[in-house]
Amino acid sequence: MVQNTDNPLLKTFSTPYGTPPFDEIKPEHFIPAIETSIDIARSNIEQIKANTDAPNFVNTIEALETSSEDLGSIAGIYYNLLSVIGSDDYNALAEQIGPITSLFSSEVSMDAQLFERIKAVYDDRKNHNYSDVEKTLLEDSYDGFVRSGALLSTQDQEKLKELNQKSSTLSPEFSNNLTKSSAEFELRITNQDDLSGIPDTAIESAKQAASEKGYENEWLFTLDFPSYIPLITYADNRDIREKVWQAFSNRAYGGEYDNSDTLKKVVKLRSEKMKLMGYKCYSDFVLEDRMAKTTDTVLAFLERLKTTYKPAAEKDLADLKAFAKETANIEELKPWDVGYLAEKRKVSLFNFSEEELRPYFPLDKVLKGTFEHFSKLFNLDFKERNDIQTWNKDVPAFEVTDKTSGDVFGILYADFYIRENKRSGAWKASFRDHGLFKGETPPAIIEIVCNFPKATKDRPSLLSFNDVETLFHELGHALHALIGRTKYHSTSGTNVLWDFVELPAQLQENWLYEPETLALVSEHYETGKQIPADLIEKLRASKNYMSGWGGLRQVSLATLDMAYHCTQDIEVNDIIEFEDKAIKDCTFFPRLGGPSSTSFGHIFAGGYAAGYYSYKWAEVLDADAFEAFLEGGLYNQKTAKKYREMILEKGGSVDPSVLYHNFRGRDADPEALFRREGLLDKSA
């Protein structure tokens, strides 16, 4: 960073491992820091162009890779804080930072003189014996410029710059609207009878939430998942379930924070950009740089899934309708009944409810056991560092090392709890990936973010089984980022093809159905006992209940995603009409609420546009990969070492199809997913 300034973002961070000094960083520091770092990057790029030596890998490709490292660091800090703090001042900055950085990015990628040097190195690549990581960086650099408009005419480049600038503010706007709209809803319960069926832990959290808002003798429920899920799953009061379901389905639809216009702008701009770039549609552009490669491949994949999931889902629903009529006197099932009655039906079939597990999952024990799990698998050590600043007092920082060598992989922040203005959901993000930075290769700086319930005065933070799966999932991403070290940040960690990125995360969820792993992460918060063996067997027996229904829901969302992105000159006039037409083959209820599109942050505020299918794509891979661990032993070191070395450590330096084949000795078996879900003999 630049020295001699009062702006902490422009100083060299004198902190452990160069972690951001969060205590010093204020919103007003970002704009001047972004502008200064762009000036530095421009100067670095001018030096590349002014070099009189013939273009080569080091003086062009590697020099370009490190030319904007200050900007990347500062922008990364800003966007991560935007998600976890989300205050009005941070949201307001997005309207300025987005266009500034977008314009600079377009300026670089459309620089004809710079591209000429890159093309010269690329065209000469066969005359050099590049390593895998060098070859990948070279190819990605060239393709990145082409895909950013380097081959367009000057006139079209200017048009693309304009479209990019317009697009740059829309994702933060979509996310902010969703957060604000969700926060508007409050369900204040004053009659204790209306709490019937809701788990005690959720009731206690609701009581505490009400007290914090100054609502005495009330229980406050919101649309945050730890509040919403227990309500929609367990509340006996059908009217309350309908009310909260309606609010959830209408997030960011109507009212002050309506995402309808934002969504339409995003779709229109993406379509215009692709037309300018010469692609038929946005999905063709995106998938060209994915394992799937083509729109037709993804549509065929989703159709194959649908032929299995839809008949299974129909059977799930028929069984549920019969159960509803018999036990609850419900003649006509509604969407707000499905989760509730599915839970009741599961209890009747398996004598088991996942809420029985919650007392065994206090967060502290779960986290300790989760670290032990990853230690057993990958020989890692996690040490809390109290000398590293974080953005909130409840966020710890851990140093992650190799237990044998002591080699430091990086710093891991863990932001677990719900907070006002914090983005909903769970994710992994990077403050700094592995790779060259200031001429060195420092450890990575990674975060995982969840939205778990806070402790109450009577109980610690108790996680649901789904919460524990979420923790394993996000740490799977984080460990990929920490272990996947290459020389360049563009090829390190999770910087892989998008439909491969979920494999290391989803794979980890499989261990949580195994007694050996559950013993690591469970301990009753009162008695200290682990989960009884019979309860584990009930969990395993009920694992695939409603798997057809759940699978079809994922196919529905992926189909909706593709509908927005695989049509040329797309026009979205009526969002509900568009959505209903897109997913008509994946739904069983008439529309009774708002569209899911206006809250579909994955594709309109995240990186999953024309990529939501990748969750299921990666599920095929993770189901097949876990079979290798089942064959050799859950913590078999030979298998784990092979997976670590051939998948995790390689990052994005090698084509993922090659990496996976090297690990398994073959391509993934597409039937592995249906085998795991107990649907194989129902497949078409």
Residue 315 tokens read as 């059977």
Q: Give the integer Cα–Cα distance in Å for 194 and 189.
A: 7
Q: Which domains does the chain have, with CATH numbers?
A: 8-168 (1.10.1370.40), 183-249 (no CATH), 260-352+546-611 (1.10.1370.10), 362-497 (3.40.390.10)
Q: Residue 680: what pLDDT?
A: 83
Banded model confidence at residue 569, pLDDT cuts 50, 70, 90: confident
Q: Residue 5: what pLDDT?
A: 76
Look-up of token digits 């609207």:
177
Other Cβ atoms closer than 10 A to 31: 14
**What confidence tens digit (pLDDT) does each residue in 107-116 have?**
999 999 999 9
**What confidence tens digit (pLDDT) does each residue in 298-335 have?**
999 999 999 999 999 999 999 999 999 999 999 999 99
Pure H helices in 522-655: 533-541, 547-565, 575-582, 601-604, 614-632, 637-643
Residue 219 burial by CB count (10 A; 0-12/13-18/19+): exposed, middle or buried?
A: buried
Residues identified as active-site: 474
**What confidence tens digit (pLDDT) does each residue in 342-393 have?**
999 999 999 999 999 999 999 999 999 999 999 999 999 999 999 999 999 9
Is residue 682 pLDDT above 70, yes or no?
Answer: no
Residue 34 burial by CB count (10 A; 0-12/13-18/19+): exposed, middle or buried?
A: buried
Banded model confidence at residue 568, pLDDT cuts 50, 70, 90: confident
- Using only C-alpha atoms, what is the Rg of the chain? 25
**What confidence tens digit (pLDDT) does each residue in 644-670 have?**
999 999 999 999 999 999 999 999 999
Dihedral sign, CA of 285, 290, 293, 298?
A: negative
Of the candidates 145, 139, 111, the residue with the CA atom closest to the CA atom of residue 42: 111
Q: Which amino acid is at 144?
A: G
Banded model confidence at residue 166, pLDDT cuts 50, 70, 90: very high
- Mean pLDDT over 247-258 rounds to 97
Q: At what angle do helices 238-249 and 335-350 cross, to 10 degrees?
A: 120
C-alpha angle 296-141-564 in degrees, rounded to nearest 5: 30
- Mean pLDDT over 201-210 rounds to 95
Residue 550 tokens read as 């759940």
Q: Give the integer Cα–Cα distance in Å for 77 and 73.
A: 6
Q: Give the integer Cα–Cα distance in Å for 457 and 211.
A: 12
Q: Are 292 and 301 in contact (CB under 8 A)?
A: yes
- Mean pLDDT over 278-289 rounds to 96
Q: Residue 466: what pLDDT?
A: 97
Q: What is the mean pLDDT of the chain?
A: 96
Q: Residue 432: what pLDDT?
A: 98
Is residue 684 pLDDT above 90, yes or no?
Answer: no
Of the candidates 181, 176, 226, 222, the residue with the CA atom closest to the CA atom of residue 201: 226
In degrees and rounded to multiples of 5, residue 157 shows phi and psi of -65, -40
Is residue 1 pLDDT above 60, yes or no?
Answer: no
Residue 72 tokens read as 């990347």
Is residue 681 pLDDT above 70, yes or no?
Answer: no
Is residue 339 pLDDT above 70, yes or no?
Answer: yes
Q: Which amino acid is at 188?
A: R
C-alpha angle 197-201-206 in degrees, rounded to nearest 5: 85
Of the candidates 460, 475, 472, 463, the residue with the CA atom closest to the CA atom of residue 531: 463
pTM beyond 0.85: yes
**What confidence tens digit (pLDDT) does each residue in 173-204 have?**
999 999 999 999 999 999 999 999 999 999 99
Residue 137 tokens read as 């960086």
Q: Is 189 helix (H, G, I), strand (E, B) or coil?
A: strand
C-alpha angle 168-170-176 in degrees, rounded to nearest 5: 125
Q: How far apart are the first and last CA of the chain?
A: 59
Q: Give the integer Cα–Cα distance in Å for 101 and 165.
A: 9
